[in-house]
């Protein structure tokens, strides 16, 4: 089979002493960033995550999904080390339970009752955080089926029925005690699950009354809420069997692992996520594989990070320094692809991944194994030993995803051009450690 270009070779081991010194300083700078400071008078950001993942739709025409539960499990594993409490509401199928032993015992079904119970507990904890002067942050994540009703209101599918846009605002956003909410939805018509259709199909005499009622269900009333939505119109949910995941969720999870951190500050902001997903999908020509996304940062703080790797976490860290370029991905020992990107050569970044299992850094045609000996450990990709690896073809759409997703390099060059095309302000320039002798 024809393979794409391999990533450029890493620098040779007989690097001149001055260059080795500079690279060691860069690694130490990253280590300092990742460890963070312990003495600070600033309020502590306390993270919670509520994840709903449901393969089953509420409409007879909706075929069951295969990997919504897998995506929920991946969100759970990535966010748990960073969060004070992570809740997964899902029914994991047999294959997913085999890949994630013991996780089913920590889940509850994705029903209204389970959701209300989880929201009540998390809101109580977040209210206590606020009373102590801390800043509670909530991830509210859904992956599964969505649909839009006759009146234009969007909904997502729980096991016991539809959970509508009205439910979202009345039961999740309005009573939330979170100071910041990251709302991530991977479902058909997810745009209308958050935003109104704009039309009011009713008699003129009732328009004003209904308009006032709908005003409480507009995102402008909740400036602390940021949104990451997979589609703005009804279309097929894209799942990829090679990675056992929805394509959009895979890209978001890769970004949250640190792949979208374009300025190497350890944070992934909304604009970085937006540009990262644009780059990941730019090369896809097959209309069946195209995604439509809507990403909007919280109006209260447009620079609010979706993740901050410098905050205390229980993750391990893979350091990818300048010199490595091209499409690379990380798979764990279970064969789950946990992060993927196409790296510009000059860019440096860190991927934060759960410790306790073996990993492979892979590129077309080769791979390098590694593992984290403990939480907080840093693995430098330059130290890894590469070996040959081959991959089999899987079919037309599988080939389109394999060959075209992440085919465009992502880094400062792409990001700056993308933000200029939108007329938006970019994140701060890359801040490297001071390497002056």
The per-residue DSSP string of 294-347 comes to EEE--TT-TT-EEEETTS--S-EEEEE-TT--EEEEEEETTS-EEEEEEE-TT-
| Residue-number span of the structural domain to which 114 is assigned | 45-198+210-308
- Asked if the structure places residue 3 within a domain, the reply is no
User: Are 85 and 106 spatial neighbours (Cβ–Cβ below 8 Å)?
Assistant: no
pLDDT of residue 10: 47
> What's the pLDDT score for residue 3?
42
Do 163 and 187 lie in a common domain? yes
Q: Which comes out higher in pLDDT, residue 316 or 407?
A: 316
Is 389 in the same domain as 323?
yes
127 and 233, same domain (yes or no): yes
CB count in 10 Å sphere of residue 327: 22
Sign of CA dihedral 428, 434, 435, 436: positive
Give the residue carrying structure tokens 């939505």. Answer: 229
Q: End-to-end CA distance of the chain: give it in Å, rounded.
A: 49
Q: How much is the pLDDT for 234? A: 47
Arithmetic mean of pLDDT over the chain: 82
pLDDT score recorded for residue 282: 86
Number of structural domains (the chain) is: 2
Q: How far apart are CA 259 and CA 414, in angstroms?
A: 14
Q: Do 274 and 334 lie in a common domain?
A: no
Within 186-244, where are the H helices? Answer: 190-194, 204-215
Whether residue 33 is contained in a domain is answered as: no
pLDDT higher than 90, residue 11: no
* Confidence at residue 425, expressed as pLDDT on a 0 to 100 scale: 81
Percentage of the chain lying above the pLDDT 90 cut? 58
Alpha-carbon span 260 to 251, nearest angstrom: 9
Pair (51, 73) in one structural domain: yes
Domain holding 303: CATH number? 3.40.50.1460
What are the angstrom distances between the C-alpha of 152 and each of 177, 189, 230, 274? 29, 10, 17, 26
Q: Are 74 and 249 a contacting pair, CB within 8 Å?
A: yes
**Last-in-domain residue among 308, 327, 355:** 308
pLDDT, tens digit, for every residue of 225-281? 999 998 745 445 566 566 678 889 999 999 999 999 999 999 999 999 999 999 988
86 and 219: one domain? Answer: yes
Query: Does 250 lie in the same domain as 335?
Result: no
Looking at the fold, whether 261 and 324 belong to one and the same domain comes out as no
Instruction: Judge whether 166 lies within some domain.
Output: yes
pLDDT given at position 150:
75
Lowest-confidence region among 61-75, 130-144, 167-181: 61-75
| Residue 344, token pair as written in the block | 């510009």
Domain CATH for 341:
2.60.40
Give this prediction's pTM: 0.82
Domain ends where: 273, 308, 343?
308
pLDDT at 240 (0 to 100)? 59
1 lies in some domain: no
pLDDT digits (tens, 9 = 90+) for 85-142: 999 999 999 999 999 999 999 999 999 999 999 999 999 999 999 999 999 999 999 9
Same domain, 418 and 274: no
Same domain, 188 and 329: no
Report yes or no on 435 lying in a domain.
no
CB 70 within 8 A of CB 97: no
Q: Which residues pair with 184 in a beta bridge?
A: 141, 228
Between the CA of residue 239 and those of 84, 193, 246, 300, 345, what are the distances in Å?
30, 20, 4, 34, 30
304 lies in the same domain as 321: no
Judge if 320 and 267 occupy the same domain: no
Residue written as token pair 């300025």: 263
Domain boundary pick from 282, 308, 334: 308
């Amino acid at each position: 089979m024809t393979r794409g270009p391999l990533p450029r070779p890493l620098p040779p081991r007989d690097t001149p002493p001055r260059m080795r010194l500079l690279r060691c300083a860069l690694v130490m700078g990253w280590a300092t960033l990742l460890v963070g400071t312990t003495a600070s008078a600033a309020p502590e950001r306390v993270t919670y995550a509520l994840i709903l993942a449901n393969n089953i739709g509420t409409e007879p025409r909706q075929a069951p999904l295969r990997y919504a539960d897998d995506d929920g499990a991946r969100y759970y594993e990535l966010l748990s080390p960073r969060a004070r409490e992570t809740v997964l509401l899902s029914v994991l199928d047999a294959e997913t339970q085999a890949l994630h032993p013991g996780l089913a015992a920590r889940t509850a079904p994705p029903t209204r009752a389970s959701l209300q119970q989880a929201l009540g507990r998390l809101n109580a904890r977040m209210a206590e955080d606020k009373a102590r002067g801390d800043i509670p942050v909530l991830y509210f994540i859904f992956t599964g089926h969505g649909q839009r009703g006759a009146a234009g209101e969007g909904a997502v599918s729980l096991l016991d029925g539809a959970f509508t846009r009205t439910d979202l605002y009345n039961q999740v956003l309005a009573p939330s005690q979170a100071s910041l909410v990251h709302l991530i939805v991977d479902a058909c018509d997810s745009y209308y699950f958050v935003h109104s259709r704009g039309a009011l199909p009713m008699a003129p005499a009732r328009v004003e009354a209904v308009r006032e009622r709908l005003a409480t269900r507009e995102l402008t009333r909740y400036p602390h809420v940021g949104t990451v939505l997979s589609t703005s119109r009804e279309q097929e949910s894209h799942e990829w069997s090679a990675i056992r995941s929805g394509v959009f969720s895979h890209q978001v999870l890769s970004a949250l692992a640190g792949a979208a951190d374009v300025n190497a500050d350890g944070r992934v902001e909304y604009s970085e996520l937006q540009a990262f997903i644009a780059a990941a999908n730019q090369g896809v020509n097959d209309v069946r594989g195209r995604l439509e996304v809507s990403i909007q940062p919280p109006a209260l703080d447009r620079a609010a990070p979706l993740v901050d790797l410098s905050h205390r976490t229980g993750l391990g860290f893979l350091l990818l320094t300048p010199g490595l370029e091209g499409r690379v991905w990380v798979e764990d020992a279970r064969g789950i692809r946990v992060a993927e990107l196409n790296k510009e050569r000059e860019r440096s970044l860190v991927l934060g991944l759960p410790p306790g299992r073996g990993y492979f850094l892979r590129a077309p045609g080769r791979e390098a194994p590694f593992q984290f000996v403990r939480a907080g450990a840093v693995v430098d990709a330059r130290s890894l030993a590469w070996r040959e690896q081959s991959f089999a073809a899987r079919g037309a759409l599988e080939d389109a995803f394999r060959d075209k997703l992440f085919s465009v390099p992502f880094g400062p060059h792409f990001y700056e051009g993308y933000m200029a095309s939108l007329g938006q302000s970019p994140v701060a320039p890359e801040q490297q450690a001071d390497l002056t002798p």
